[in-house]
Structure 1
Amino acid sequence: MITATRRWVRRNRANFAIGAGVLGAGYLAGQYVLGKLSEARQRMSDERIAKENLRRRFEQNQEDCTFTVLAILPTATENILDAIPVEQVLEELQKQKAERLARSVGPSEIASSAPPSVADTAEDDAKSSSYQSEGYVHASQMEGGGGGESSTGSVEGVAAPGERKSTKSKAQLWNEMKISSITRAFTLLYTLSLLTLLTRVQLNLLGRRNYLASVVSLAAPPPANQESTINLENHDDDNFEHAYGNDFETNRKYLSFSWWLLHRGCLDLMDKVRVAVKEIFGHLNPREEITIERLSELTLEVRKKVEGATEEERRTCKWLTYLIPPQNEEEFVLQQSGLSSSTESTSPTTSTSLRRLIDETSDLIDSPAFTHVLTRLLDAAFSHLVDVKISQLSYKIPPVSESAARVHEIVGDVKAKVASSLAVFCRQAHSIGSGVNNEYLTAIESVRDLEAFAAVVYSSNFEFESPENVSISRPTTAAGESNRTGLAAADAEFEDAWRSALAKEDGKQ
């Protein structure tokens, strides 16, 4: 029996060897396939987690941008309101109206009446027989004797004997009121749009660095001697955040450059807007009645003067001088922000990292994508002011319902006096520059191109964030120009990413 079994095994040993080989190969192939499937599942899971982490970081970054704009916008608003004191001109007009009333009616009637508004003052001027100059008339100059003098002198709104007389005529005051109120509102719209874009660029550049540093730090295994230790603060050379320029000092100095727009850029922009407003609105009489379409056309003409009349002019319009200080003013901006002084010395690494951030920001501001997005933001802001606020408050046009089933009321050529629109311009200036519940900021952030632009800034040019690009020596002017040249060379890649982002957004609609 045993001998027969041995003979059978010897006769079939080749078959056994082949079968064992086939089974072994099948087992190895199965294990290989299972391993590849497991790796694919793990890779897909890691990619999904990474994308979710990136999306969550990006969304949080955009919320931070909104809160930052609301926090620093009142600073620019205060500077613009101080530079264009429309309320003082209105007060002069109200005093002149009170003087005219004091000559025509009794002082008791003046005291019992409410203070006039811009529209009320315009109505009173419309009833006057001429639009000529009228100076102050004190109570002592009125006819009626000493009793009228003593009683009228105490009336609120009438100039007291010791006050300085106005040197401007009523026509001059109304013209100044018209130009100043429109200029102030338009300047605040430009400032809000530019501040929104600048903040998006700054925080998304810093967010990109922070994200890249966190990814590299998670991917790099810790040293063997530090596996069981907890490092609360790391200032060593192997700190990835410092290697990628993501240190606290650099970030503070970089963000402080928004001081230029808040204190200098907005005022320079105000001068440019004032020239355009004078040229377009200068011929309008405050008592003239115009339609909302005519007001929109005049507003568009002002925008063409400021931004450019054609696509090519808008593309070549430079906004960098309003947003980023020139290189010889950078130290001054840091000193004004309280982050630098003449006695302090900045580390070479910080200077290099800060210079790279400023150069990349400048290149982004000069890019065609920035101008395109800014135009869309200004479209939304001006539309909210003219087509919504002035249309409803001055022309009494009911808002258009979003429901398609509702029958809309057909409104004819509704006209309103320019003075009534000026009153809305005055009030809306405070709403545009408000740091709480800002409707204009909400309208601006609803533009989809803004999020697409922020996504491109957040996810592009990772190759320029490699640690080997961080030099230890202090950068010279030639080094800064070389860095700017390298960033400019990636402009085509940036434009491709920008078009891809817009294509994805179009697919979501």
Structure 2
Amino acid sequence: MITATTRFLKKHRRKFFITLGISGGAYLIGKWVKWKLNEMQERATAERTARENMKKRFQQRQIDCTYTVLSHIQTLVQQLMDDLDVESIFARLQKAKQNNKGISSDATTNTASSSTESPITVVNDNATASIGPASTVLVNNDNNDESTTSTPSSSVVLVGRPNENDNEIAKVTETTTHNQGENSNGSNSGNTSQESETNSPTSSDNTSEEAGRMSKQRRIELWTEIKFKSFTRTIAAVYLETLLTLTIFIQLNLLGRYNYLYSVSLTERDREQTITIHNGSLLSFVTEQKYLTFIGWFLNVGYKEIVARVSTAVESSLSSMSFKNELSYKEFAWLISEIRTKIEGSDNDGLAHKFFNVMMPENLSDEVRILNECGGNNLDDTIDSNLRKLLDETKDFIHSRDFATVLSACLNSAFELLKKDMLPIFFCDDNLSGGKVEKNITLAKLLPFITKEAHIVLNGVPPKFLEAIKDCKELQALSAIIYASFDNEMGVNLQN
């Protein structure tokens, strides 16, 4: 039996070795495939977990950006309301109106009691009359209980005070006298006898008239100041909030990327190596604080630059526009677009370069100055290699064409919301159809609404302008690019 078995094995040993080799190889290959599948599954799980963690961190970073913007907006609100305090000018006009009531009443009484042969012309919103060279102008204000006399020897622009109940500005009436030179010779002979009676009641009336006329001129100046400042404040608020949001989103997402790289490499297995990496290439707390200090450049230098640019554009667009000019909604939207064009220019690709000096300092001396002014006593003005890398990378993002696209999209979103907020005042109820019909509104009546809009832009609850800017898909894409732009030398591949 044993001999037969031995003889059988010797005769078929080649077949046995082949069968055994194939079976062993198949077993080993199966084990290797199973190990490889397990490894791929673990890697996929790790990458999925890493992406989920990165997504959660990224979303949390965007929330942090939003709260940081809200905290810095309060600084802009205080600066803007102090520098462009339209409300105080309204208060001065109200006080001037109350003071002028007494003067106007006295002047009206004296005029009525005196024997004056000059005709009286009433000027209001519904009728106009020609004014002769020797006429006296009687002006009816918005309450119809106040009158003021003035000599017709010069052009007079009459501006009413806004009603406190409906917050509307009274219409502006412009009265201009002509042909003064043709009648000057005839009037001089009649005025000679009047000038000689310096102690007469007529002379006293002329003095009151002159004081009243000077008061009107001052009121004109104040209303013109309101016109410029109200538009400047609201439009500047949109630019400031947009640029502040973009600056903070770039800075915090850039820091978030480095902090994320540090957190994913912090394991028990390579903790010692990670500490070396952290000290060598990632960021220290002091470097982060120095980097965040550069937001002070925007809050100081950038703020002044934006307000100056907007003020110049507004004055250029509104200087020739009368308070009585009626605007439709399309004309108002065109006016806003015209002001934007004067501020931004027509070259969309160069938009980022126009606002670069607003967001970041351009040279080393300005960088050191900001660290000295805004860094406090705990930070020195040394710009180390890590801080320099952060600053250079930030400037590269701002100079990029992608950023120009993002800035243009965010500004468009904010200004579209501004126009949408102003849309209801250009419509009124139609009694016939029961719906809304479009109407024109004078520039004077538009001023209270545009003044109030600045508070809504910066202090609105909820902050819808900030929501519109941060929810812009272009800004979200830029934030994701900044957050996920990992360096190859880090050896971390966590991109989606």
Q: TM-score range by the shorter chain?
A: 0.7 to 0.9
Q: CA deviation at 1:377?
A: 0.7
Distance 1:364 1:353, change over 3 A: same
Counterpart residue number, 1:79: 79
Q: Residue 414 in 1 paired to residue 439 in 2?
A: yes
Counterpart residue number, 1:30: 30
Residues 178 and 422, structure 1, Cα contact 8 Å, conserved in 2: yes
* CA distance in structure 2 between the aligned counterparts of 1:434 and 1:39, rounded to whole angstroms: 54
Q: State which of 342, 358, 361 in structure 2 corresponds to 1:322.
A: 358
Residues 131 and 170, structure 1, Cα contact 8 Å, conserved in 2: no
* CA distance in structure 2 between the aligned counterparts of 1:378 and 1:184, rounded to whole angstroms: 16
Counterpart residue number, 2:418: 385
Counterpart residue number, 1:214: 263
Q: Deviations over 1:185-211 (max 9, x none)?
A: 111110100011000110011011111
Question: How does 1:279-428 map onto structure 2 within 5 Å?
Answer: 279-314=316-351, 317-325=353-361, 326-340=363-377, 351-386=384-419, 388-392=420-424, 394-396=425-427, 412-428=437-453
Q: Which has the larger radius of gyration?
A: 2
Residues 327 and 443, structure 2, Cα contact 8 Å, conserved in 1: yes
Distance 1:272 1:242, change over 3 A: same
Counterpart residue number, 1:458: 483
Question: How does 1:157-172 map onto structure 2 within 5 Å?
Answer: 169-172=218-221
Q: Quick one: which amino acid aligns to residue 318 of structure 1? A: K
Q: CA deviation at 1:174?
A: 1.5
* CA distance in structure 1 between the aligned counterparts of 2:489 and 2:2, rounded to whole angstroms: 78
In structure 1, runs of 5+ residues without a counterpart are 133-142, 144-164, 224-235, 399-408, 467-500, 505-509
Counterpart residue number, 2:48: 48
Residues 428 and 437, structure 2, Cα contact 8 Å, conserved in 1: no
* CA distance in structure 2 between the aligned counterparts of 1:397 and 1:356, rounded to whole angstroms: 57
Q: CA deviation at 1:418?
A: 1.7
Q: State which of 435, 459, 464 in structure 2 corresponds to 1:434.
A: 459
* CA distance in structure 2 between the aligned counterparts of 1:416 and 1:346, rounded to whole angstroms: 54
Q: CA deviation at 1:50?
A: 1.2
Residues 162 and 168, structure 2, Cα contact 8 Å, conserved in 1: no
Q: Deviations over 1:321-352 (max 9, x none)?
A: 111134212233223324358xx7567xx621
Residues 118 and 423, structure 1, Cα contact 8 Å, conserved in 2: no
Q: SS state of the match for residue 441, structure 2? A: strand
In structure 2, runs of 5+ residues without a counterpart are 107-143, 146-160, 178-200, 202-213
Q: State which of 291, 296, 307 in structure 2 corresponds to 1:270.
A: 307
Cα RMSD, aligned residues only = 3.3
Q: Deviations over 1:463-488 (max 9, x none)?
A: 4879xxxxxxxxxxxxxxxxxxxxxx
* CA distance in structure 2 between the aligned counterparts of 1:115 and 1:295, rounded to whole angstroms: 21
Distance 1:16 1:451, change over 3 A: same
Higher normalized strand content (fraction of residues) = 2
Distance 1:120 1:217, change over 3 A: closer
Question: How does 1:466-477 map onto structure 2 within 5 Å?
Answer: none
Distance 1:351 1:176, change over 3 A: same
Q: TM-score, normalised by structure 2?
A: 0.73
* CA distance in structure 1 between the aligned counterparts of 2:384 and 2:90, rounded to whole angstroms: 49
Q: TM-score, normalised by structure 1?
A: 0.71
Q: CA deviation at 1:449?
A: 0.4
* CA distance in structure 2 between the aligned counterparts of 1:318 and 1:461, rounded to whole angstroms: 29
Q: SS state of the match for residue 169, structure 2? A: helix
| Matched residues, number | 402
Counterpart residue number, 1:507: none
Q: Deviations over 1:245-292 (max 9, x none)?
A: 321111111111111111221111111111111111222222322101
Counterpart residue number, 1:230: none
Counterpart residue number, 1:175: 224
Counterpart residue number, 1:495: none
Residues 118 and 422, structure 1, Cα contact 8 Å, conserved in 2: no
* CA distance in structure 1 between the aligned counterparts of 2:244 and 2:437, rounded to whole angstroms: 38
Larger RCO (alpha carbons 8 Å, 6+ apart):
1
* CA distance in structure 2 between the aligned counterparts of 1:194 and 1:250, rounded to whole angstroms: 23
Q: CA deviation at 1:129?
A: 7.1
